[in-house]
Structure 1
Amino acid sequence: MRSVHDEESLQRFDRFMDPVGLVVGGRVVPNWLSDGASFWYAQGGPSDTVILRVDGATGHVAPLFDVHRTRQALGALLRRDLPNRGLPFETVADLGEDRYRFSFDGADYVLSTRDYSITPEVMPSLAGTPRMYERPRWLTKPIRVPEVPAPDKRWFASIAQGNVMLRKPGSDELIALTTDGARDFEWDIETAAFQPATMTLPGRAQTPWSPEGRWLFATKVDRRAVPDLPYVRYRHRQETTTMKIQRAGGPLDIVQPYVIDVSARQVRALDVGTCEDRFFTLIGWLPDGSEVLFTRHSRDFKSVEVLAANPKSGAIRTVLRESAATFIAIQHEVLYGANNHATLLEDGSGLIWRSASTGWNHFYLYSLDGKQVRALTAGEFPAIDVVAVDLWGGWIYVTAHHDQERPYDTHLCRVGLSGGTLERLTPLDGENVVYVSPARKTFIAINSRPDRPFRTDFHAADGRHLTTVERANVAALEAMNPGGSEEFKVTAADGKTALWGVMHKPRDLDARKKYPVIVRIYAAPSTSIVAHGFGLGDCSHSRLDHALTELGYVVLSVDSRGTPGRSKAFHDVVYRNWGREEIPDHVATLRELAQRHSFIDLDRVGIWGHSWGGYFAIRAMAQAPDVFHVGVATAPAVDPYDAFLFEPYLDLPARAEAAYEYASLYSSAAGIVGKLMLVCGTADPMVCSNTLQMSQHLIRARIDHELVVLPDAGHRFENADDAYFVRKLVGHFETHLKQRKLALVPPAVTDRRSRDARQRLLRR
């Protein structure tokens, strides 16, 4: 890393890149107890662990165990002294009747708090623990997910050698439910591992098993027509392998839904008609197992159906249909998050469905014969997810961006299933991560803002505050005297649309001086990038926001038009318009902030982004070369023809050739006059191919640039690859952005086509 900074600044940079201990506590993930309303959480380190119980009726916090009596009982059982001073374990399982299972030194025990007796566990708990297996994903390498337990815990289901397998708890034997799986024509089952990590959604499928464990919803995936993209793995020795790449307008996986009779070992294909150019995702089973519900999205994501299948006959019926002129859902949420925004009521009486048909995402209650019963939420704000349904109390709990003055704040709200006014339950502005208790009697909210640390509060289901469980300790962070973070509101390039973002400032900022600016960009329609909560980031990408300020940079990000989380009209700006509005919105943001803050130096602006953010980093340097002087594009997907992920937002290539041609970045090479670095991993074959082709176009246009190739790195850089990427990024900005004035003179271009392309880009 080449740097003009002193050793202290570099040490502070490194501290933010490895921020363990700078922010302690404040976030409590509840482990719900058997009463369905109280929870426990562990506190302290290995030497002084204590487990606290938070009472669901009063909010009273007290130790769940008497530490001295627990240590004494376990020590007597084992006939030896125990290490440290606190509990010799930090996780427990509530077995009911004041009995708790815990593990110590590889063995399992049961503690009774009635008399503090401890007995060895007769049946090791690990026998009931799911094992991991590999499940394929679109355009990426397979991921490891857990086996899926049957409702009666008699079986675990998984995939091995392309077939559906069963395993009994405690056994290593795999029993094949199917035997016809073959390479590129394999079976698949959905798994709860694809659900968003912060959500427990009762009524929405967490499992492909029918309630009584007789049936299993599965799919068979035919990838044989999908082309292979070869690439080299660099391990102990080179080896050539391939990855299936579903390109825009090209062949997709053909997914055929099935139900499997587990006891009879029989499979039944569901007659859903054509399976080509369709995506299927599971919703769930009716409580009596008479039907399984799932969605079918069209390839262009302009239409969706909710289908119900009878497992005995295979008969299919359509519950509801919806279509739109543009994309009806975020493709990434459906395919990568298994989140189709459909929630089946636990008693099978209806379905909660999210739709943007009014111009905002809202929830609607449907009967299972497809009739809309009522709208559950309404207004000029987007509802996000169903978090819990209380059938006995008649409430639905949802998250929503409910505050129109702060449109990215996330709140927990509730509304009656029979209708009524939506109630906001989280009192504090900012980001609220919520967990609702299994009995729907209480919830916790982890609240923060970019300028306000985490706190966890415990509430009754109606929003009454029971107790503040924990506040973050930021003494170590404050001792470093970091620069501040602040939210901002600006106006988009259209002169009327409000945009929101976050700016991170250097420590000891002197408003009389000028500071270089680095923009972190994503700007794609799949997710918003601005972090509206507190924290130092859970990966290097977000940690750089804070760490770079220690080297004297102002770092900012903004969610431009075309990103999600606002109205459908705001999101639809991207449709067939990819690449036209995102960079002008970022330019408008920079210019407005520079008018407000004299310390922002518009002569020294850098930009970087990953994946689609890498795409837009390149686009920014080509489309606004007078504004963006230095850029880093990591894993940039620059060619929309090479990935079907572009299809919902550009439409299919055969119908939108002009949109694809404009979105492609290869012709943009001639417009780049600043200092660009491209970074990719070779185990990310489609993106690596895009990156190398982009480099080739830059070379032909005689554009000087840096190219960093990480052997065997995937789409997300990890460990040594990630550390090396950070060094290269920082070195690139330190070398090229810290100069007071940059000589942004384009090289002599003798190639007429390149010269003409440059002029076209500069006129855009």
Structure 2
Amino acid sequence: MSSTENYQAAEQLLRRPARPGELVTGDKVRPQWIDGGARFWYAVNDGERNRFVLVDPAAGTRQPDFDPTALADAPLGSPLEVLSPDQKVAVSRRGHDLWARSLSDGREWALTTDGEPGYGYGYGPDCTSNATLLRKIGLPHLPPAVAWSPDSTKVLAHRTDEREVRQTHLVQARPADGSAPALHTQRYAYPGDEHMPLAELVVLDVTTGTVVRAQTEPLLMPQLSPIMIKWAWWAPDGSAVYYLARPRDLRTLTLYRLDPATGEVTTVLSETGSTRVEPNQWMYEPPIVRVLSDEVLWYSQRDGWGHLYRYDLRTGELLGQVTSGQWAVRQILHVDEAERVVYFTASGLVAADPYRRTVCRVSLDGTGFAKVTDDDLDHVVTLPDSMAYFVDSASTVDTSPVATVRDWSGRVLVDLERADISKLVATGWTAPERFCVKAADGVTDIYGVLYRPRGFDPAGRYPVVDNVYPGPQVNRVEPGFDPGGMGMDAEPLAALGFVVVALDGRGTPGRSKAFHDASYGHLADAGCLADHVAALRQLAETRPWMDLDRVGVFGHSGGGFAAARAMLDFPETYKAGVALSGSHDARCFNLGFVESYDGADNPGAWARSSNVDIADRLTGKLLLVHGELDDQVHPQHSLRLADRLLAADKDFELFIVPGAEHTLIDCIAQVRKRCWDFLVRELMGTQPPAYRPAPIPIGPELLAEMFA
């Protein structure tokens, strides 16, 4: 039975993503570089106030109680501006154009003047602009999508063409001022649409006002700005811009060079495959590509694993494979061209957990491979521009982070922070158990985490909740310590008295090419739900306290789709489900996401990925939750599913949250409480306690945390 005390603990655990530092301190070090990266400072929140620490890696010193106001003379810019490297000029959006501002005298001038609605500068596709959330916070838009040249004289930007993109609409029943319902129109392309957002690259000279346009066809930009996701970047000496592009079928990836003086575009190298060719298995992480003085380090999965290959920059000729083995490169950290060595992170080198990241080095000719961090921990690395050292955060799922500064031999130069989880433990939280079981094929190893319920008694018998997110663009479970990240719902559910399971089935990123490609054309499998069912059965064989007669499923966004899909495809396993903000019908979802994973010309797969078409299969208890103004996954997804459930005479619950956006962030505690009540009633068979959670205030600080 879930008590008021359990609900209080669940709320505390839920609030952590919105209020970092409340229960865990010292778990994240976010360096603020000074002196060109030779030194840095960072803030640590002790739950009551920020304290500041100054670090000098060369001297090996850590100075607590640092006063950052000592760095006062630094130029001031808005959060909505992008400062030049020399911090003398800031670029911002004004309407559909870009403007520059001198930070010394406040002078402003236009960098472009021909922007117009649907055809403007400095922003990505409307489908991912987060307009609803920004309106709530009081911001007009995100910072401009621009990249400064290293010498602070030019800006790389793109003109976004959405003039022919499908228009979709959201109706706000009651605006904040109480006026009549308001219509919000959004450009949002569906799979198979003829028109999608396009990006026309431009180079803007800040001092002369010259506009140089790329002499090539516009880039396809279905989902994200190529500048914001670092698919377009400046050469270190500013002599060129390099960018990656793919055709609509995504089966060819090409590296191009743009001459910023003339706009001439030339092809550097290209790779084609039988399925999507990607520069990183994670959609939102930077491409694993590095242009050197005469060579290119190029990420490819051609041998079945993600590895580095070396190409001639001038001719595009393959010079050799740099890394190899049944493991994958995750990130290029640093290339020492004088020593002919590349440093990188890789996963698959820790026997206990193939997702953990290890810092490694290898010569550019493929010899001399070595581990820089030779342990069994997961390593997250942050780099200064100087590349003289790296900031390392090492942890595991059940080992809290330790942050240090290391040199490139792996030697610790400065100890920074050891995370304090005492307040977290005081809520009744216990670390999750990392597990490995067999997939539904009986052969493939799959990994996940299991959270024991608060006040766990091995003699008890507990209902189980599968907390799902199907990928294929990100993982559900992080290999390191992750309180309040993708585990935002897992830990509160465990506090309520549920056994909670989260795992990455076949088709999710982080393993071999074949493992990831299991999702290609198979979004309908929702991250291979058959693997989830197999995992639950194997886990319960040695854990008799898991009651598989009372299994529920809970998910948000893609996880909302997967939660409903689990109820429809595996009704014998899942008895109750909560689907928040679910993308239930691929045919009217984001073109970029659906075509990336189900194919660019595959309407049969898009139909198979629709929960709407199989709504008549529902037998268990289902709660659908959606924000009225969700501009990422439109509320029509839940309404279309509800329509078919009604037509099939199925019993379900529907909760439309007035004014809410995709994450439901400004009413997250109230919404989650309703979800918790539903699962307590349906799986525990008891009435939930009378409990009213406190609202979580939102503002620019929350937005910064969400996008950090």
Q: TM-score w.r.t. structure 2 length?
A: 0.85
Q: Per the alignment, do residues 563 and 276 of structure 1 end up closer, same or farther by CA in structure 2, a change over 3 Å counting?
A: closer
Structure 2 counterpart of 1:265, which letter? G
Aligned partners of 2:48 and 2:98: how far apart in 1? 44
Task: State yes or no: 1:398 paired with 2:344.
Answer: yes
Task: State yes or no: 1:489 paired with 2:490.
Answer: no
Aligned partners of 1:152 and 1:661: how far apart in 2? 52
Aligned partners of 2:269 and 2:156: how far apart in 1? 20
What is the DSSP-based 3-state SS (H/G/I as helix, E as strand, rest coil) of the residue aligned with 1:377? coil
Does the 8 Å contact 2:279/2:287 carry over to 1? Answer: no
What is the DSSP-based 3-state SS (H/G/I as helix, E as strand, rest coil) of the residue aligned with 1:354? strand
Q: Per the alignment, do residues 630 and 287 of structure 1 end up closer, same or farther by CA in structure 2, a change over 3 Å counting?
A: closer
Aligned partners of 1:44 and 1:726: how far apart in 2? 26
What is the DSSP-based 3-state SS (H/G/I as helix, E as strand, rest coil) of the residue aligned with 2:489? helix
Tell me the alpha carbon deviations over residues 44-91 of structure 1, each in whole angstroms, 9 at most, x when there is no partner. Answer: 8699987555553574x4537xxxxxxxxxxxxxxxxxxxxx66x3x3
Does the 8 Å contact 2:290/2:298 carry over to 1? Answer: yes
Task: State yes or no: 1:244 paired with 2:245.
Answer: no
Aligned partners of 1:129 and 1:344: how far apart in 2? 33
Partner in structure 1 of residue 6 of structure 2:
9
Partner in structure 1 of residue 266 of structure 2:
317
Tell me the alpha carbon deviations over residues 105-152 of structure 1, each in whole angstroms, 9 at most, x when there is no partner. Answer: xxx4xxxxxxxxxxxxxxx53xx233233xxxxxxxxxxxxx233344
Partner in structure 1 of residue 138 of structure 2:
none
Aligned partners of 1:522 and 1:26: how far apart in 2? 24
Q: Per the alignment, do residues 712 and 703 of structure 1 end up closer, same or farther by CA in structure 2, a change over 3 Å counting?
A: same
What is the DSSP-based 3-state SS (H/G/I as helix, E as strand, rest coil) of the residue aligned with 2:672? helix
Tell me the alpha carbon deviations over residues 605-648 of structure 1, each in whole angstroms, 9 at most, x when there is no partner. Answer: 01011111111111100000010011011111111111211102
Task: State yes or no: 1:220 paired with 2:152.
Answer: no
Partner in structure 1 of residue 63 of structure 2:
63
Structure 2 counterpart of 1:585, which letter? D
Does the 8 Å contact 1:415/1:421 carry over to 2? Answer: yes
Tell me the alpha carbon deviations over residues 2-54 of structure 1, each in whole angstroms, 9 at most, x when there is no partner. Answer: xx433322222233223554333254334455485555445686999875555
Structure 2 counterpart of 1:362, which letter? H
Partner in structure 2 of residue 758 of structure 1:
none
Per-residue deviation at 1:438? 4.2
Q: TM-score w.r.t. structure 1 length?
A: 0.79
Task: State yes or no: 1:646 paired with 2:594.
Answer: yes
* Structure 1 unaligned residues grouped into runs of 5+: 65-85, 93-100, 103-107, 109-123, 134-146, 195-205, 741-764
Partner in structure 2 of residue 621 of structure 1:
567
Q: Per the alignment, do residues 214 and 460 of structure 1 end up closer, same or farther by CA in structure 2, a change over 3 Å counting?
A: closer
Aligned partners of 2:204 and 2:44: how far apart in 1? 45
Pairing partner for 2:615 from 658, 664, 669: 669
Partner in structure 1 of residue 29 of structure 2:
28
Task: State yes or no: 1:157 paired with 2:91.
Answer: yes
Percent same amino acid among aligned pairs? 29
Paired residues for 1:287-686 under 5 Å: 287-329=236-278, 339-345=286-292, 348-369=293-314, 370-405=316-351, 406-466=353-413, 468-538=415-485, 542-580=487-525, 582-642=528-588, 643-644=590-591, 645-653=593-601, 656-685=602-631, 686=633
Per-residue deviation at 1:561? 0.4
Paired residues for 1:688-727 under 5 Å: 688-719=635-666, 721-727=667-673
Structure 2 counterpart of 1:252, which letter? M
Pairing partner for 1:270 from 197, 214, 219: 214
Q: Per the alignment, do residues 239 and 590 of structure 1 end up closer, same or farther by CA in structure 2, a change over 3 Å counting?
A: same
CA RMSD of aligned residues (A): 2.9
What is the DSSP-based 3-state SS (H/G/I as helix, E as strand, rest coil) of the residue aligned with 2:473? coil
Does the 8 Å contact 1:280/1:297 carry over to 2? Answer: no
Does the 8 Å contact 2:524/2:605 carry over to 1? Answer: no
Aligned partners of 2:446 and 2:317: how far apart in 1? 38
Per-residue deviation at 1:555? 0.6
Q: Per the alignment, do residues 367 and 182 of structure 1 end up closer, same or farther by CA in structure 2, a change over 3 Å counting?
A: same
Instruction: Select the structure of larger CA radius of gyration.
Output: 1
What is the DSSP-based 3-state SS (H/G/I as helix, E as strand, rest coil) of the residue aligned with 2:587? helix
Structure 1 counterpart of 2:517, which letter? D
Aligned partners of 2:669 and 2:280: how far apart in 1? 31
Does the 8 Å contact 1:641/1:660 carry over to 2? Answer: yes
Partner in structure 2 of residue 140 of structure 1:
none
Tell me the alpha carbon deviations over residues 231-278 of structure 1, each in whole angstroms, 9 at most, x when there is no partner. Answer: 123422221120111110111012222233444423233222465688
Pairing partner for 2:119 from 180, 185, 191: 185
Asked which structure has the greater RCO (Cα within 8 Å, sep 6+), the reply is 2
Per-residue deviation at 1:219? 1.7
Q: Per the alignment, do residues 324 and 129 of structure 1 end up closer, same or farther by CA in structure 2, a change over 3 Å counting?
A: farther
What is the DSSP-based 3-state SS (H/G/I as helix, E as strand, rest coil) of the residue aligned with 1:648? helix
Task: State yes or no: 1:256 paired with 2:204.
Answer: no
Does the 8 Å contact 1:32/1:39 carry over to 2? Answer: yes
Aligned partners of 1:160 and 1:530: how far apart in 2? 40
Tell me the alpha carbon deviations over residues 350-387 of structure 1, each in whole angstroms, 9 at most, x when there is no partner. Answer: 33222212211112233322223332322111111112
Structure 1 counterpart of 2:566, which letter? A
Per-residue deviation at 1:467? 5.2
Task: State yes or no: 1:132 paired with 2:79.
Answer: yes
Partner in structure 2 of residue 72 of structure 1:
none
Does the 8 Å contact 1:292/1:309 carry over to 2? Answer: yes
Aligned partners of 2:52 and 2:685: how far apart in 1? 54
Structure 1 counterpart of 2:659, which letter? D
Does the 8 Å contact 2:25/2:44 carry over to 1? Answer: no
Does the 8 Å contact 2:92/2:99 carry over to 1? Answer: yes
Q: Per the alignment, do residues 43 and 308 of structure 1 end up closer, same or farther by CA in structure 2, a change over 3 Å counting?
A: closer
Range that drifts further, 729-738 or 15-24: 15-24
Partner in structure 1 of residue 136 of structure 2:
none
Aligned partners of 1:513 and 1:45: how far apart in 2? 36
Structure 2 counterpart of 1:340, which letter? P
Aligned partners of 1:164 and 1:444: how far apart in 2? 35
Aligned partners of 2:623 and 2:101: how far apart in 1? 49
Structure 2 counterpart of 1:224, which letter? R
Does the 8 Å contact 2:253/2:278 carry over to 1? Answer: no
Does the 8 Å contact 1:331/1:648 carry over to 2? Answer: no
Does the 8 Å contact 2:53/2:62 carry over to 1? Answer: yes
What is the DSSP-based 3-state SS (H/G/I as helix, E as strand, rest coil) of the residue aligned with 1:579? helix
Does the 8 Å contact 1:483/1:504 carry over to 2? Answer: yes
Per-residue deviation at 1:332? 9.4
What is the DSSP-based 3-state SS (H/G/I as helix, E as strand, rest coil) of the residue aligned with 1:732? helix
Q: Per the alignment, do residues 173 and 408 of structure 1 end up closer, same or farther by CA in structure 2, a change over 3 Å counting?
A: same
Per-residue deviation at 1:287? 4.5
Aligned partners of 1:506 and 1:264: how far apart in 2? 64
Q: Per the alignment, do residues 62 and 657 of structure 1 end up closer, same or farther by CA in structure 2, a change over 3 Å counting?
A: closer
Does the 8 Å contact 2:57/2:414 carry over to 1? Answer: no
Aligned partners of 2:210 and 2:615: how far apart in 1? 56
Structure 1 counterpart of 2:14, which letter? M
Q: Per the alignment, do residues 726 and 331 of structure 1 end up closer, same or farther by CA in structure 2, a change over 3 Å counting?
A: farther
Aligned partners of 1:367 and 1:574: how far apart in 2? 33
Aligned partners of 2:27 and 2:153: how far apart in 1? 44
Pairing partner for 2:110 from 176, 182, 185: 176
Q: Per the alignment, do residues 171 and 587 of structure 1 end up closer, same or farther by CA in structure 2, a change over 3 Å counting?
A: farther
Q: Per the alignment, do residues 627 and 163 of structure 1 end up closer, same or farther by CA in structure 2, a change over 3 Å counting?
A: same
Aligned partners of 1:679 and 1:44: how far apart in 2? 34
